[in-house]
Amino acid sequence: MIDNNHSEQQKEIFAAIDLGSNSFHLIVAELKNDQLLIIDRMKEMVRLASGLNDKGELSIEAQQKGLDCLARFGQRLNNIPAQNIRIVGTNTLRKAKNGADFIVQAESSLKHPIEVIAGREEARLIYLGVAHSQSENTENRLVIDIGGGSTEFIIGKGFSPSYTESLHMGCVSMTLKAFSDGKLSDTNFKIAELYSRLELQTIKNTYTNVGWTYATGASGTIKAIGKVLRAYHDSKNTTTPFPGITIKGLKWLIKEMVKQKSISKLELEGLNIERQAIFCGGVAVLYGAFKVLKIESMNVSDSALREGVIYDLQGRLSHEDVRQRTINHLLKQYHVDTRQAREVEKTLSNFYQQVQEAWSIEEFSSEQTLEWVALLHEIGLSIAHNQYHKHGAYILENSDLPGFSRQEQHRLAILISAQRRKFPKQNFKTLSKECNQSTTYLAILLRLSILLHRDRSENALPEIKAVAKEQTITLQFPDEFFDKHPLTLVDLQQEADYLKALKFTLAFK
C-alpha cells in the first residue's frame, strides 16, 4: 500500500495561498523542469473586500468567513515543508485598519506566517506567474490582473517586468462604487467608465508610449469574461477562430448586461453564479482599460499571483532571490560605504552566532537578514547626517522594494531606526510579542556592532566574546583593549545607559 503523504514528502512540493479581496486561493504544486505541475487547487469566494465598513475595518462576519476558509486550507498544508509554503495578502489586507488582528488569528490557525505585499510587489509576482505559463518571447507583454480591490498592470519581457502598477479599482470595489443600487444601466456603466479613466490617467502616457505586442489577462474576473465571450462566439456556429477578448466583444457584453437590468437577475452563458454579484464591476474595469490603453485584443492566462509566488519562493530556495537584487540596488542608489557596512555585518554575525541559542532568536535566524540589516544601516546618510537613522527607516518603510513583504520592510525599518541614541521602544509595539522580543535582541546586537566600528578603521577587531542571558549581554575584550580605545569605552558606557530604559544590562570587561 502506498503512503501518499510519505511519497509527497519525497518530492519537491510547494504551496501558495493568495488571500485576495474577492477569493482565497490555495495551490499545491510540484516543480519539474522549471514548470509547475499543479497537484491540487482550492478556492473559496470569501469576498473580504465586501466586509470593509466605512471606517476601513473588516467586519467580524467577514473575518470569520475568512478564518473558516483558512481552517480548511490549513489541513492541506500538512506534510509540506514549512520553507516551501508562502501565504500572501493583497489589497484588502493592505487597507484594513484591523487587518493585523485578522492576520494574527489566521496565522494561529494556519501555523504559518502571512505576508501582506504591496501593490507593485503583487504586480511583479503576477507577471512572474503569467510569464512562466506562456511561450518565451523577446517582445513587450502587457499583463492585467483584476482583483477584488485593485487591478495590476505590468509591462515586461521574458520573465522580467519593466513597469509595474497597482490601481485602486477592482471587481468588488467598482461594483460597490458604480452599481450600489444593484441596477445594470447605461448610466451606471458610464459612471464606472469614468472611475476607470480617472485611475488609468496615472499610467496612460507611460504605458502607451512603451507599448506591447501581446496583452494577457489573469485572474478569475478576466477568465470569466473570456468564458462568456467564447460561449457567445461558439453559439454563432462560425468557423472563425475565437479572437480572445476584444473591445467589440466587451461592448456586446455590456449591452447584454444592460438588457437584463438587474445584477440579481444576471444570467450569461459561461458565467458562474458565484461571480454574478461582482461581474459587472470587473467588466467595467476591463472595458475602461481597453479604451484608455487602446488594447486591441487579449488572451487569458490560467496562471497568476499564486503561481508567481511559488516561482519566486523556489527562486529564494535556489539562491535566485530577487530581494538580494533589491538590496544591491539600494546600496548603489544611496551610495552606501559597503566596506564599512561589511565590517559591521561581520561583527553582527559573530555576535549573533554566540548569543542566538541563549536568546532563542527565531524571527531573524536567516543569515541573509543579518546581512541586509548591516548593509542598509547607513542609507539615510545620503539625505543628511543629522537623524540619518530616521531617514534610513523612512526610506525602507515607504519604498517599493521588490521581493519584500510589508512586514519585512517594517521590521527592517524598525531596526534601522533603533541603531543609535535613545532606544525607540514605541516603534517595537507595532510588532507581535514574539517578533518584538527577537527584533529587540537583534537591534541591540546591531547597535553594539555599529558602535565597535565607529572609528571606521580598516584594522580588524580582535576576538570579542559575547555571553548572553535573558536581559543581559556581557562583552569580553582582550587585555588592554580599552587602554588603546578609550573612546570605545565611553561609547559602551553610554550605550549601557541607553539600554537601561529597556531594563536590559550591558556589561563589558
Strand pairing category for 160-167 and 141-146 = unpaired
pLDDT in tens, 81-99: 999 999 999 999 999 999 9
> What Å distances lie between residue 310 and 128, 177, 411, 437, 440, CA to CA?
9, 33, 23, 30, 31
Of the CA atoms within 13 Å of residue 340, those in its CB half-sphere come to: 16
Per-residue pLDDT of the chain (509 residues; tens, 9 = 90+): 334 444 444 468 999 999 999 899 999 999 777 677 899 999 999 989 889 998 999 999 999 999 999 999 999 998 899 999 999 999 999 999 999 999 999 999 999 999 999 999 999 999 999 998 887 777 999 999 999 999 999 999 998 999 999 999 999 999 999 999 999 999 999 999 999 999 999 999 999 999 999 999 998 999 999 999 999 999 887 788 999 999 999 999 999 999 999 999 999 999 999 899 999 999 999 999 999 999 999 999 988 899 999 999 888 877 678 999 999 999 999 999 999 999 999 999 999 999 988 998 865 556 688 889 999 999 999 999 999 999 999 999 999 999 999 999 999 999 999 999 999 988 888 887 778 888 899 999 999 999 999 989 888 899 999 999 989 999 999 998 999 999 999 999 999 999 999 999 999 98
> What Å distances lie between residue 286 and 66, 214, 396, 419, 426, CA to CA?
27, 16, 33, 47, 44
Dist. CA 414–CA 49, nearest whole Å = 29
Instruction: Give me the pLDDT at residue 364, please.
Output: 55
pLDDT in tens, 333-350: 999 999 999 999 999 999
Burial (0-12, 13-18, 19+ Cβ within 10 Å), 187 = exposed
Dist. CA 193–CA 199, nearest whole Å = 10
Q: Is 363 left (phi over 0), alpha (psi -120 to 50) or beta?
A: alpha
Give the angle 268-92-223 at the CA atoms, nearest 5°. 30
Dist. CA 491–CA 339, nearest whole Å = 22
Dist. CA 440–CA 361, nearest whole Å = 10
**Nearest C-alpha neighbor of 379 from the set 428, 323, 439, 419:** 419
Dist. CA 15–CA 310, nearest whole Å = 7
Buried residues in 461-484 as b, exposed as e (16+ CB within 10 A): beebebebeeeebebebeeebbee
Strand pairing category for 465-469 and 472-476 = antiparallel
Place of cell 524598525: 414
Strand partners, 115: 88
CA 274 to chain centroid? 27
Element spanning 249, H or E = helix 247-260
What own/partner pairs with CB < 8 Å and gap ≥ 24 does 176-181 have? 176/50, 176/281, 177/281, 178/281, 178/284, 179/263, 179/280, 179/281
Q: How many CB atoms lie within 10 A of CB 382?
A: 14
Strand pairing category for 160-167 and 151-157 = antiparallel
DSSP 8-state symbol, 241: P
Q: What is the CA radius of gyration of the chain?
A: 26
> What Å distances lie between residue 61 and 57, 65, 92, 404, CA to CA?
11, 6, 15, 30
For each of the domains in the chain, give its residue range(s) and CATH number, in order of start.
4-117 (3.30.420.40), 135-300 (3.30.420.150), 321-460 (1.10.3210.10)
Give the angle 374-327-450 at the CA atoms, nearest 5°. 10
